């Protein structure tokens, strides 16, 4: 199995074999919480520690806490995190023109492929964006992050978690920088599917 790695700033590494990744983890070259990963057959980027076959030790909890602490410290010295241009509200529609939509990022607690098979998810995407799913799939770039709790943290904190910005920056650094600087408009929505998956959708629109 070939594994591709991505981290904040858009740095991409790989592909690596599962044996190479495990060797690097055991040798403490990096931690299993440092990277998002994509592997053969995957339909969504997932945390490296959740890739089948990856050796994860007791260091996971500690590294996660350390990363969280580091994010908090960094946040104190950086500009305030950008807020969604439209706060969560009963209405789902973004209220922005489909023609201006540049990118979709989707975070789900489940697996990426399940979303496209969920009638509720497809209906909600169409409601938020204001276009048929077939048109959305063809015209708008989208990236999916699976097995993550961004939706829950977004609801609890009322703002975009720094980990969400880092994850999106790992794949599209220039676009995310434009969004954080205010050059793009950001719309965020969360919802649950019939299977209980909690989904967070990030839409970036041209001004």
Phi and psi, residue 182, nearest 5°: 95, 0
Residue 104, pLDDT score:
97
Q: Does residue 90 belong to any structural domain of this protein?
A: no
pLDDT of residue 116: 79
In this structure, the answer to whether residues 103 and 70 fall within a common structural domain is no
Q: CA–CA separation, 111 vs 82, rounded Å?
A: 27
The 10 Å Cβ neighbour count of residue 141 is 13
How many domains does the chain divide into?
2
State whether residue 191 is helix, strand or coil. Answer: strand
Q: Could you say which of 77, 111, 132 is where a domain stops? A: 77
Could you tell me if residue 45 is inside a domain?
yes
At 46, which CATH number?
3.30.1490
pLDDT tens per residue across span 144-160: 999 999 999 998 888 89
- What is the percent of the chain with per-residue pLDDT over 70, rounded to a whole number? 82
Mean model confidence pLDDT for the chain? 81
178 and 134: one domain?
A: yes
Residue 12 has pLDDT above 90, yes or no: no
What are the residues whose beta carbons fall under 8 Å from the beta carbon of 65, sequence distance 6 or more?
none
Whether 83 maps to a domain, the answer reads no
The answer to whether residue 134 scores a pLDDT higher than 90 is yes
């Amino acid at each position: 199995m070939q594994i591709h790695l991505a981290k904040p700033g858009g740095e991409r590494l790989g592909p690596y074999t599962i044996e190479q990744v495990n060797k690097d983890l055991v040798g403490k070259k990096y931690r299993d919480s440092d990277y998002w990963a994509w592997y053969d057959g995957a339909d969504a980027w997932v945390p490296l520690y959740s890739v089948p076959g990856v050796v994860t030790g007791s260091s996971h909890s500690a590294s996660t806490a350390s990363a969280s602490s580091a994010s908090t410290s960094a946040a104190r010295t950086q500009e305030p995190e950008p807020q969604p241009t439209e706060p969560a509200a009963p209405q789902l529609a973004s209220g922005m023109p489909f023609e201006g939509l540049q990118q979709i990022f989707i975070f789900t607690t489940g697996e990426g492929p399940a979303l496209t098979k969920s009638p509720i998810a497809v209906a909600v995407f169409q409601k938020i964006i204001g276009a048929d799913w077939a048109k959305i799939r063809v015209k708008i770039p989208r990236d999916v992050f699976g097995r993550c709790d961004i939706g829950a943290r977004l609801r609890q904190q009322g703002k975009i978690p720094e980990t969400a910005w880092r994850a999106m920056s790992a794949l599209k650094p220039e676009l995310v920088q434009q969004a954080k600087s205010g050059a793009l408009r950001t719309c965020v929505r969360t919802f649950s599917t019939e299977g209980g998956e909690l989904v967070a959708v990030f839409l970036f629109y041209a001004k």
